[in-house]
A and B are shown apart, each in its own frame.
Chain A
């Protein structure tokens, strides 16, 4: 880790722009917001994003922004460690990579070699891919999978665009997962029962210590309430639940706060899952964060997925299920299994 005596540039002090998208309207709109940043023309975003030996941890304090064209696939089948909530055709899309929040346990630390934020400005190509899938079957699509799209809304406007697109395609359901406090977004987009806002909830202690720059628990719950008031289905994600010595009390307090802050009868569903991560990813997390209690936990390797030992995992799951069962009907509770 670096000393505080050497400081980093401000976030997005450097904006790398692929030559091919320099004149794209979205590029121009985004660049117009950053008059103090240095704009660097690049050939391909991977020349910057995939540089070897980057420091994800240090870049988190001063991420650069990369504006690029996604020339490959934009829509992918959902990963086995992710919940499909009973949908048959579960996909995720990647119109942005990385997010402006800084969660210590985030799988993106293992997935990508860089913490720089990539925005693919050719969103229409992702729409076309989804439309091809929709011509075959209904689609359930996570659009905020390897980013927090709401947190980037001022920059991209992609939440609004996905919501509009979903409204026009009756067989499409999207999930927008977030840890943001923003409510203004619900005024801007048309209400739709197929646009699910999914709020990741964590105990106060976890948010303060391990989810830097994210909204507080009351802020997230307030935003979730606002979404429901505006007619959007809301999912509460107690996922990932992370282990720490006082986790049981902290989770009990969290659920009590949820109960007091939100009308649970209006919730679409909840998901519960303890922290789990690919064995390849955890190696990178541990290397980058040697002092992290979450990442350095001695997990068990279950078929390439690192998990808490069964005793701890089941205790955490059962505790959450028991706490929530008294507040919400059983069929609305999804437990992560794979």
Chain B
């Protein structure tokens, strides 16, 4: 599932349309959009670091972000020298001076984002009039999103995609909604390509048969510590390609499962271990 954070509706509009996202009509503290397949959820955070941080926490909590399956994407505008879409490898919070680093593990060159599409970005508290460093990008949300998301999300599953809307503007009113939407539309194919590409990743399969594990714990009257040991045996069996179920079936037919006492359960656990090893 993709968790997408955009600051403004004008930035998100092309994405909402292309992904056929519907607005969540329940009372939500932030405008939230999702698709019917539950593959994508998008939140509009509003401008600024604190708003972005709060909205990110809301989104990841409300829709139960799974760190081994889900991705976080921040898509939005920024100020920069050259027009285009950039993948961010470093975020500096201008106010605190802290730096944040998404883990650049995935090769997105097939989506049109080669290493040369990467840039460092500075999160600033207000719209900038000019570019202090023309090599950098400037916007107002990324550090807050990273900081909030890092409580939930591994750094290699966070993507910050920023498109240049202007090169600094004395009068923020000149950065119109139409301009932001038009620029976002121009970059939409690449963003959709990234979502499509990352969406191919298979999540982790079922590790062990949880139902069988729990029923065995109960049948053997295992304490918490011994439950942990049994769980490890289930994992070992899976890792070495042994089916633990026949071992348990044999013990049941030998009248050792269910156990009549905790002591007996512990003895049966040792038998399971011996038969596995």
Contacts and interface: CB of A to CB of B under 8 A. Distances in A.
Contact of A9 (B67, B104, B150, B197): B104
B33 interface: no
A6 B197 CA distance: 7
Contacts of A59: 103, 105, 156
Interface string B98-121: 011101111100000001001010
Nearest to B273: A298
A47 interface: yes
B240 interface: yes
Interface in B52-90: 67, 89-90
A64 B155 CA distance: 13
A296 B235 contact: yes
Contacts of A33: none
Interface string A1-15: 111011111100110
Contacts of B153: 53
Given A52-B150, A298-B229, A58 B105 contact: yes
Interface residues of B, number: 37
Interface of B: 67, 89-90, 99-101, 103-107, 115, 118, 120, 150, 153-156, 197-198, 200-202, 204, 207, 229, 232-233, 235-236, 238-240, 273, 276-277
Nearest to A4: B202
A76 B120 CA distance: 36
Interface size class of A (residues with CB under 8 A): 35 or more
A54 B107 contact: no
A53 B200 CA distance: 22
Interface string A50-85: 011111001101101000000000000000000000
A297 interface: yes
The A interface, classified by DSSP as helix, strand, loop or mixed, is: loop
A51 B150 contact: yes
Interface of A: 1-3, 5-10, 13-14, 16, 36-38, 40-43, 47-48, 51-55, 58-59, 61-62, 64, 245, 286, 290-293, 295-298, 309, 312
Contacts of A62: 105, 107
B115 A51 contact: no
B156 A58 contact: yes
B275 to A, nearest CB: 12
Contacts of A36: 115
A53 B107 contact: no
10 closest cross-chain pairs (CB), A and B: A3-B202, A5-B200, A296-B239, A53-B154, A6-B201, A293-B239, A296-B235, A296-B236, A293-B240, A9-B107
B99 A53 contact: no
Nearest to A61: B105
A54 B156 contact: yes
B236 A298 contact: yes
Nearest to A244: B240
Contact of A291 (B101, B200, B239): B239
A291 B201 CA distance: 18
A6 B106 contact: yes
